[in-house]
């Protein structure tokens, strides 16, 4: 098990300054700052100041969500005890392709992509990196990605953090070419996956070799023995089998009823029977393929 330790900053000072009556005034301070992940709150801190008038206290916090970034503070005076406070807010508004988006990330924007992310993973966090040097952190829902203007570029996506979940990003990259201030709308899917291991048999229970095994998450080809391994979307546990460019069958698996070892689903022998009532349509054509 890995434990993430959030940075803690502690600072202390002691010195002197000119007092209100023109003399020297000794003072000391102690400050504490902690990075946290408490909902939208990103950091909290406090300060204690001591001088000949008494003690003064201060507190601050930084927060960020999908729509807004900001900080707030409050402090009391050691001289009069009066309380003062402040709030700073920042957000970026973008509209493109008929879609409106707000971003709370503090990033430069020459141009941008409004990206909707549809995912079946909890607490998903993606990293978007522009080949021209910009980047952003993305979460499910609507996001804004800053990109460079006047030149073609590509934004590549990957999972944030050290450990990637068992999932696929579709598409894994997006191309763009925008003028300054230009905005385009795109969509992204992140599908939770499981590796399916099995063997394809025809109606005579003979191995099916060279069959194309297709799922919304990826595709694969069966070996001479009929054995195949393919990444399958757990949300859409259906495999389309094609041979000679035609649909041979659909395999609708029941993941909860099949043995599983880690992230590998053991499908065993799967008999490929001709599809019924397909009407010549491609049942997976409306979804993304690998």
Delineate the domains of the chain, giving CATH numbers in brackets. Answer: 8-90 (no CATH), 94-191 (2.60.40.2610), 192-271 (2.60.40.10)
Are 17 and 79 in contact by the 8 Å Cβ rule? The answer is no
Q: What is the pLDDT of residue 4?
A: 46
Q: What is the pLDDT of residue 105?
A: 66
Are 232 and 199 in contact by the 8 Å Cβ rule? The answer is no
Q: What is the pLDDT of residue 275?
A: 62
Cα 22 to chain centroid, rounded: 57
CA atoms in the 13 A half-sphere facing the CB of 125? 9
Are 222 and 214 in contact by the 8 Å Cβ rule? The answer is no
pLDDT tens digit at each of 290 positions of the chain: 344 456 788 888 887 777 666 667 788 888 888 888 787 788 888 898 888 777 888 888 887 776 777 788 888 887 777 888 888 877 677 767 777 777 666 566 788 888 999 998 878 899 999 888 888 888 898 888 888 888 899 999 999 877 888 899 999 999 999 998 888 899 999 999 999 999 999 989 999 999 999 998 899 999 999 999 999 988 889 999 999 888 999 999 988 889 999 889 999 999 998 764 333 444 454 333 33
* Structure-derived torsion over alpha carbons of residues 138, 139, 143, 147, reported in degrees to the nearest 10: 10
pTM for this predicted structure: 0.60
Cα 94 to chain centroid, rounded: 19
Q: What is the pLDDT of residue 289?
A: 38
Q: What is the pLDDT of residue 188?
A: 94
- Residue 183 structure tokens: 């905005």
* Alpha carbons 285 and 242: distance in angstroms, whole number: 13
Residue reference for tokens 């996001």? 143
- Residue 15 structure tokens: 């010195």
* Alpha carbons 273 and 235: distance in angstroms, whole number: 23
Give long-range contacts, CB 8 A cutoff, 24+ apart: 163-166: 163/2, 165/121, 165/124, 165/192, 166/192, 166/193, 166/194, 166/263
Q: What is the pLDDT of residue 43?
A: 87
């Amino acid at each position: 098990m890995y434990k993430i330790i959030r940075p803690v900053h502690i600072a202390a000072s002691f010195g002197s300054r000119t007092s209100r009556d023109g003399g020297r005034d000794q003072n000391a301070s102690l400050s504490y700052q902690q990075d946290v992940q408490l909902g939208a709150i990103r950091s909290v801190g406090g300060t204690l100041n001591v001088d000949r008038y008494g003690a003064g206290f201060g507190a601050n916090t930084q927060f960020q969500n999908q729509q807004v970034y900001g900080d707030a503070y409050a402090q009391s005076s050691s001289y009069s005890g009066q309380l003062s406070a402040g709030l700073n807010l920042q957000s970026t508004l973008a509209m493109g392709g008929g879609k409106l988006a707000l971003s709370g990330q503090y990033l430069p924007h020459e141009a941008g992509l409004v990206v909707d992310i549809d995912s079946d993973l909890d607490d998903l966090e993606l990293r978007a990196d522009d080949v021209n040097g910009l980047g952003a952190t993305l979460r499910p829902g609507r996001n804004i990605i800053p990109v460079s203007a006047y030149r073609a570029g590509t934004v590549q996506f990957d999972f944030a953090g050290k450990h990637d979940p068992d999932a696929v990003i579709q598409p894994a990259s997006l191309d763009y070419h925008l003028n300054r201030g230009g905005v385009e709308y795109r969509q992204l899917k992140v599908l939770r996956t499981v590796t399916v291991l099995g063997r394809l048999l025809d109606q005579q229970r003979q191995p099916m070799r060279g069959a194309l095994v297709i799922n919304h998450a990826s595709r694969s080809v069966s070996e001479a023995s009929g054995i195949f391994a393919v990444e399958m979307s757990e949300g859409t546990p259906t495999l389309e089998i094609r041979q000679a460019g035609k649909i041979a069958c659909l395999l609708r698996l029941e993941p909860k009823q099949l043995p599983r070892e880690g992230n590998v689903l053991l499908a065993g022998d799967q008999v490929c029977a001709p599809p019924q009532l397909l009407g010549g349509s491609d049942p997976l054509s409306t979804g993304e393929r690998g």
